[in-house]
Structure 1
């Protein structure tokens, strides 16, 4: 079956599923394969549960009229997503970066939906499977779709752009994330910049942070761009950080905009959403409403009160750049009692031990004395701080010292599940 005919079937369906545990009636089931699973083996079960058809790529499972045999189920999913994208009048805003992608995506969505019919990537479905699923979820009446793109190797963003064909793009920053795959910070810059390369090649619109020297340099000869700045007036949108605010806040056109996000490191994320909203003709009142109604979730920059303690829970993910920013923010709060509880950072490759040691040393430099760590990488660092390789031992230690009347930063890579610590407070 060619893509045009498959698309006709897609329009008759009620969406896409790649997991038999989440089959919905009249959906199209795509049998994908991974290191530990083969969706082809579950095609019959998907049909039994009510799927309209199952797209498979192994002939031995092609035993009913409801199975559609293709050469590669994943590529077919990607091709179908691109075909759907081409039929839509929806404008696609794509974003990538080392830190803050998901928070920025949610802020942009919150601002845009005050004025336009808007959709966005669910959670962090931002890879070679997630981006096609996001595109295929876009309805014909949708005016804007905010599509997050993640990558840990070169050429991945380039490939995702070929599927999504974005009209607008934004890179949050270039940081020390996924060094194992990118090889170096220079590799990160090259990989993330594949989004800008696509947009420049197709004369599309770019939003960027004029305070970021690398981005300003990359875009120096490109004209279809809009910038913001938090430090000067040499940009299209000038924003002023609001000092002494409880949460991250900015002044935009004399409007004080208070977010529910903690930390100065979230100011660029807010600024990007304000800039995109402004350029897309959203009123200042609606921009303010969009920022101020967004409530962070999923362990991202959440401020929680727990008895006598204030907890900054930023445990969705971590890398050297984001942990350094979180530590700087904690120090700037000038609270009397602070506790830093950090989990290991992943995907740092040969730089792992050096980067974990740097974080430990940085806490000393900032005079953040109460550091506790979890994970084998931090355990190998040269320090006398309490460090544990197992959660149970960490839990016993925290229970024994009875932390009270403190501001507690909890951060670590997703696999460390640092949000488990909330039960202790």
Structure 2
């Protein structure tokens, strides 16, 4: 974190120091809400939870070197007392962002945010010290937590911006105002919060709306709802995609074995990119990252080299590995919506294998009245991608079976049944995709991973 005295921390957060807290004690480490990660020079954020109260671990955090605890009730170790711990963290993050020298880059979209943020973070790290959102810490806790990791020498701060309703992205932008924004796509997801794809588009447009005339926005030229956001921002706009008129585009795309190659075309020149990431959707993610790096002044050859060396950072996202029996597994089980499911079954269809292609598919949540239609369409997409067998897991997934006409397809009630069926069906050389909304296929992926041998 940007070094601050406890007196400054109290002033920024509107808190009050405990009698045992030294106002001049300097905070130089990060802010942690997991006492196991609290360390020398840091702050511990005590959050009351359903299963445990962070205040009970304040003494442990202090013993590990934390300067003080941000607390909402009396504790026996140095503290900054506040009314609301998350609100205090937010105020602290706003201060850090306001005094840091880092260029702030915001990424949003219905899917692909985490993978694209990971790409941008890896590319920026080649230019200078970089802080990026870990995994998908993109909400009211994870966002300010990430901002507070910025240090005096940090040059780039890459933030994933998520929303489940209108106004959420604006609130995150107000904590750490981006000067470069990326909008990936607008799709069917979180309809329980947005209600419609039109509202989703309005929510995603909050990022380009927020960025001022001195900033830059990268928009997906091939998504009409995203491309239209050029009309709502005063920032300079660059578009990326496969359209001929996109400033950042992919030409001569070669699907190879599912890890695509393409020629990156930019206003500064062209370079050949060979991705090490599985799935055609990563072409768009790579183009978005390339656009950011172009805005930061990187040359096409430098961008292409970085994209070729970039790897998967976040778990359960297109993680391809081979078991000792020769079975290839695609663990993309972290979450799912119609667009990411479509990309995943296409990736399975492109994966080289001498055996069968089997898709274990769980429910796509939060689709409201579109649930049956989207799952039926997924079955059709799997069939069209060349999937040989489908195992649909749990309630609500029967329409996948209905849509996969002509494909061997089985509906099972739960993950245990899916595992049992796989154990009976799998043969050496088969390829298996595991995907579904949160937790709904994790047990299946973990069972397959127990026999993991090598990453692809």
Confirm or deny a common fold (TM above 0.5). yes
| Distance of 1:264 and 1:103 partners within structure 2 | 13
Tell me if structure 2 keeps the 8 A contact 1:119–1:146: yes
Residue 243 (structure 2) aligned to one of 221, 227, 232 = 232
> What does 1:4-19 correspond to in 2, within 5 Å?
11-19=26-34
| Distance of 1:351 and 1:10 partners within structure 2 | 55
Aligned residue number for residue 339 of structure 1: 358
| Distance of 1:222 and 1:141 partners within structure 2 | 30
Tell me if structure 1 keeps the 8 A contact 2:349–2:385: yes
| Distance of 1:358 and 1:238 partners within structure 2 | 29
| Distance of 1:290 and 1:262 partners within structure 2 | 16
CA distance 1:338–1:143, shift in 2 (3 Å): same
Unaligned runs of 5+ in 1: none
Aligned residue number for residue 316 of structure 2: 299
> What does 1:20-419 correspond to in 2, within 5 Å?
20-58=35-73, 61-62=74-75, 66-200=78-212, 203-220=214-231, 222=233, 224-246=235-257, 247-252=259-264, 253-297=269-313, 298-306=315-323, 307-331=325-349, 337-364=356-383, 368-379=387-398, 383=402, 385-416=409-440, 417=442, 418-419=444-445
For these two proteins, the number of residue pairs brought into alignment is 421
Aligned to 1:234, what secondary structure does the other structure show?
coil
Larger mean CA deviation between 233-242 and 119-128 belongs to: 233-242
Tell me if structure 2 keeps the 8 A contact 1:379–1:388: no
CA distance 1:22–1:234, shift in 2 (3 Å): same
Q: CA deviation at 1:219?
A: 0.9
Residues 43-96 of structure 1: per-residue CA shift (max 9 Å, x gap): 3443344421111123xx2555x1221122111110010011101111100111
Tell me if structure 2 keeps the 8 A contact 1:82–1:164: yes
| Distance of 1:332 and 1:50 partners within structure 2 | 51
Tell me if structure 2 keeps the 8 A contact 1:78–1:132: yes
| Distance of 1:53 and 1:271 partners within structure 2 | 43
Tell me if structure 2 keeps the 8 A contact 1:208–1:225: no
CA distance 1:308–1:15, shift in 2 (3 Å): closer
Tell me if structure 1 keeps the 8 A contact 2:270–2:301: no
| Distance of 2:193 and 2:58 partners within structure 1 | 33
Tell me if structure 1 keeps the 8 A contact 2:263–2:270: yes
Q: CA deviation at 1:367?
A: 5.8
Q: CA deviation at 1:311?
A: 2.9
CA distance 1:351–1:233, shift in 2 (3 Å): closer
CA distance 1:5–1:180, shift in 2 (3 Å): closer
Aligned to 1:169, what secondary structure does the other structure show?
strand
Aligned to 2:69, what secondary structure does the other structure show?
strand
Q: CA deviation at 1:355?
A: 2.9
| Distance of 2:103 and 2:300 partners within structure 1 | 21
| Distance of 1:168 and 1:293 partners within structure 2 | 23
Aligned residue number for residue 422 of structure 1: 449
Q: CA deviation at 1:172?
A: 1.5
